[in-house]
A and B are shown apart, each in its own frame.
Chain A
């Protein structure tokens, strides 16, 4: 297998063994059909076992796989007529975020995504998919345009996080992210976000305030990369696998928390094993959710999005609240007192 991960070794070893046996049989003219069938069966079983119970750390490695399809791969397979547009009109064109117009089943939409590079040179040009403020501002410009022309917005989330650089700070990295969070809450068009690889921190969320947040089966989404968490908590970035377990970063975890509406299944072994199949299932999910959301008025879409995020949070609250504000507050917050689990 090309680009196998360490936990996939047993599979490739078995595959090699089967191939060897076939070759040997042909060369020597011996019939190994029974033996080969037995091994193929064993292979299928092993594959089933391996991929049906991936650990969070294994998913993290799949989400970061160098062959994993990027936003542009999906944009070109899920949509038609993609027209990429550029620039934030303020400073530059940040290649860590791509965006433009495209059609989904014939309907014009605005599509935006974080863009990792395909090779080292591409990665350097795209800052490994970690945007500067101008990237977030480009995305905002395109979303405002979509709102104006009543086009649905579809975003693909795939970043380790916003770029940690001095020039990013000088140009207002925080403000750019914060503004996107606030403005995304105001648009009267459907917004659907799909976490396709790694959703890291504020840089991911800046494209993530949608009516629906969907997630590929092996994608991850967290407040800080597991490597970052490990180095802060245990002063050891190599404990990323451990942090991945503790931080509840998988699609299933997020669905349990009520943050993700739907998990989009991946082809066996991950999205990179079959781009067309993956694109089809993304397209199918997008279309279903878009049809539901298209039935809503602009005001209802804004309210729906507000309530989605308003509900998120788990805390304990003693019934009695002190001070004059007690009564008002009880009234105001009654429906959200129980946090989603």
Chain B
């Protein structure tokens, strides 16, 4: 029929068995922010920063360790510590297993000792790909132990945070990790220890409201979401739309909450400079 010419053909959508991908796995990557498609190898050479818009892709703990530690080397602490299911929380044990499988990690933080720019440091690196980087007993304990190790060995501590917040499935135990890690920092910093906090996308809730905000220097990667309450909760409370840049690193710096926003390419050199500034222990004598 003539009329049929103007009708669009209708196709039924058949859900595909495999998750939909625009490009063959691993070869290309699409920027979540600008949509630019780039070769994975190029992206990696660029430290996983979009060459077109500068968007910082999320890194997992080991990618970041590779990037920031001298020779990518770290002597790991507490590599075998595992989460339990202390509340018998519905579904938690299964979810833990599934997260271990999908991320290849044992929990949401890797801690250890190594060098940055030739300076020995203790680092804790969180990973968003394990349980949204949530803090339960293991994350709290590993970070506290790392701070204690640094205290004992008189080394600086650098924590790279990324977290959705506290791990609900451990309820009050996860809340108390905020107090535990902050108290460990009180001891360490009170004794003259240097703590540099680096917040990466996203750092929210109980992690921001404890150790991540307590750096002698608070740094963040460009565009990183850093805040306490989530945007949706706030929008529901105040019944207003929030601006696009709300809770970004730049927004936080503008409001006096951060010392610096540091591009991933500059991160290692900025950390090295900061470490260097704290290595001289004697006070310069008065000049005549």
Contacts and interface: CB of A to CB of B under 8 A. Distances in A.
B186 A185 contact: yes
Contact of A178 (B78, B211, B247): B211
A246 B172 contact: no
Contact of A202 (B113, B190, B209): B209
Contact of B175 (A205, A314, A318, A329): A205
A33 to B, nearest CB: 51
How big is chain A's contact interface, by range? 35 or more
Contact of B82 (A305, A315, A320, A339): A315
A166 B172 contact: no
B227 interface: yes
Interface string B6-21: 0000000000000000
A174 B213 contact: yes
Interface centre among A169, A224, A309 (most CB of B within 10 A): A169
Contact of A313 (B173, B190, B240): B173
Contact of B206 (A202, A247, A323): A202
A315 B141 contact: yes
B80 A318 contact: yes
A86 interface: no
B201 to A, nearest CB: 15
B228 A202 contact: yes
B246 A166 contact: yes
Given A172-B257, A223-B206, A325-B77, A314 B229 contact: no
A332 B150 CA distance: 12
A323 B75 contact: yes
B82 A317 contact: yes
B80 A321 contact: yes
Given A174-B209, A332-B149, A317 B81 contact: yes
Interface residues of B, number: 74
A179 B234 contact: no
A174 B208 contact: yes
A331 B276 CA distance: 30
Interface in B173-227: 173-180, 182-187, 189-190, 205-206, 208-214, 226-227
A70 interface: no
Given A305-B183, A309-B176, A321-B79, A175 B86 contact: no
Contacts, number: 222
Interface string B134-152: 0011101100110011001
A164 interface: yes
Nearest to B207: A174
Interface centre among A313, A325, A329 (most CB of B within 10 A): A313
Main secondary structure of the interface of B (DSSP, over half): helix
Contacts of A246: 87, 89-90
Interface stretch (A35-43, A106-114, A253-261, A265-273): A253-261
Contacts of A333: 145
A312 to B, nearest CB: 4
Given A257-B173, A306-B183, A314-B137, A173 B168 contact: no
Contacts of A322: 76, 79-80
A322 B138 CA distance: 17
A324 interface: yes
B255 A181 contact: no
Nearest to B184: A310
Contacts of B240: 166
A314 to B, nearest CB: 4
B81 A185 contact: no
Nearest to A222: B171
Nearest to A127: B237
A169 B247 contact: yes
A233 interface: yes
Contact of B172 (A173, A221, A323): A221
B40 interface: no
A316 B137 CA distance: 10
Interface in A20-53: none
Given A173-B209, A201-B175, A185 B79 contact: no
B175 A202 contact: yes
A314 B84 contact: yes
B186 A182 contact: yes
B114 to A, nearest CB: 11
Nearest to B166: A223
The list of the 3 closest CB pairs from A to B, nearest first, reads A164-B229, A313-B137, A181-B182
17 contacts: A163-B237, A168-B228, A172-B256, A221-B172, A223-B170, A306-B183, A306-B187, A309-B183, A315-B83, A317-B78, A318-B80, A318-B82, A321-B78, A323-B77, A324-B75, A325-B76, A328-B149
Interface of A: 162-166, 168-175, 177-179, 181-183, 185-186, 201-202, 205, 208-209, 221-224, 229, 232-233, 246-249, 253-254, 257, 259, 305-306, 309-310, 312-318, 320-325, 328-329, 332-333, 339, 341
Given A178-B178, A305-B183, A332-B145, 6 more contacts: A164-B237, A222-B171, A223-B168, A247-B89, A249-B172, A317-B82
Interface of B: 75-84, 86-87, 89-90, 112-113, 136-138, 140-141, 144-145, 148-149, 152-153, 166-168, 170-180, 182-187, 189-190, 205-206, 208-214, 226-230, 233-234, 237-238, 240, 242, 246-247, 255-257
